[in-house]
């Protein structure tokens, strides 16, 4: 996917009150940033921000953090910025995730992650073993991963990888049915409009 450059992206990022510019300072104490002890849900790769922003509006008793590595993507989310005390964004690579969180995340969302289809790029997939090890370090009470994708090969790989790592599954489907509980991402709406099926799962693992 070609990433289009956003005009004035630095200005948009710099003026946003939702961007956390020094995330490492909050490692182990993100509750102090939100000024509460509510659960923290993390979305890795936020797209244009529709999913995480709508969730933050809908579930005000949950804190949401979205991380995104592309500075040409995150301004799209920030342009939708509203006064949401339970929402923050971090501009970073997911590989460094365990350097800024320490046993304080209750759920991870992986929505339409890059499938990295070539075998030599397997280690970059967000459900590869190297990432699952990192997730162990940031989950609080138990591991909880919610995944949606249009890519059947990535979905099959993720099921195998998560299963081998000790995860159990609920609500696995190759054709996610829209409902009031399902907050769609921009990609999901685009794919649904084209008749493309959405694969979805919820994965859990006890400490």
104 vs 190, residue with greater confidence: 104
Q: DSSP letters along 111-146, please?
A: ES-----SGGGGGGSTTSHHHHHHHHHHBSSEEEEE
Name the region of 47 (left: φ>0; alpha: ψ -120 to 50; beta: rest): left
C-beta neighbour count of 52 within 10 angstroms: 26
Domain 9-14+36-206, what fold? Rossmann fold (3.40.50)
Pairing of strands 63-68, 40-44: parallel
pLDDT at 174 over 80: yes
| Structure confidence at residue 3 (pLDDT) | 46
pLDDT tens-digit map of 76-111: 667 666 678 999 999 899 999 999 999 999 999 999
CA distance 95 to 67: 11
| Structure confidence at residue 80 (pLDDT) | 61
| Structure confidence at residue 6 (pLDDT) | 55
Lowest average pLDDT, out of 20-34, 54-68, 183-197, goes to: 183-197
Pairing of strands 168-173, 199-206: antiparallel
39 vs 6, residue with greater confidence: 39
pTM of the model: 0.91
Our answer to whether residue 114 is catalytic in this structure is: yes
C-beta neighbour count of 206 within 10 angstroms: 9
pLDDT tens-digit map of 125-155: 999 999 999 999 999 999 999 999 999 999 9
Mean pLDDT of the chain: 89
Do residues 108 and 134 lie in contact, with contact meaning Cβ atoms separated by under 8 Å? no
Tell me the average pLDDT across 13-28: 86
| Structure confidence at residue 190 (pLDDT) | 87
pLDDT at 54 over 80: yes
CA distance 96 to 185: 24
Do residues 67 and 105 lie in contact, with contact meaning Cβ atoms separated by under 8 Å? no
CA distance 39 to 119: 36
Which of 71, 96, 102, 114 is an active site residue? 114
171-201 burial: b if 16+ Cβ within 10 Å, else e: eeeeebeeeeeebbbebbeebeeeeeebbbb
């Amino acid at each position: 996917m070609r990433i289009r450059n956003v005009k004035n992206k630095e200005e948009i990022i710099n003026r946003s009150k939702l961007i956390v510019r020094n995330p490492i300072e909050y490692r182990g104490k993100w509750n102090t940033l939100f000024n509460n002890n509510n659960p923290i849900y993390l979305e890795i790769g936020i797209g244009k921000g529709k999913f995480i922003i709508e969730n933050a509006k809908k579930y005000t008793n949950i804190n949401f953090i979205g991380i995104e590595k592309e500075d040409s993507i995150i301004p799209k989310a920030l342009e939708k910025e509203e006064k949401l005390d339970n929402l923050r964004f971090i501009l970073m690579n997911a590989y460094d995730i365990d350097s800024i969180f320490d046993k304080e995340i209750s759920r991870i969302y992986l929505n339409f992650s890059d499938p990295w289809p070539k075998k030599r790029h397997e280690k970059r997939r967000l459900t590869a073993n190297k990432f699952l090890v990192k997730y162990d370090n940031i989950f609080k009470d138990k591991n909880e991963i919610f995944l949606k994708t249009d890519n059947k090969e990535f979905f099959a790989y993720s099921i195998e990888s998560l299963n081998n790592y000790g995860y159990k599954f609920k609500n696995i489907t190759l054709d996610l049915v829209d409902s009031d509980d399902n907050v769609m991402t921009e990609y999901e709406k685009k794919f649904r409009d084209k008749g493309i099926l959405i694969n979805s799962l919820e994965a859990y693992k006890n400490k």
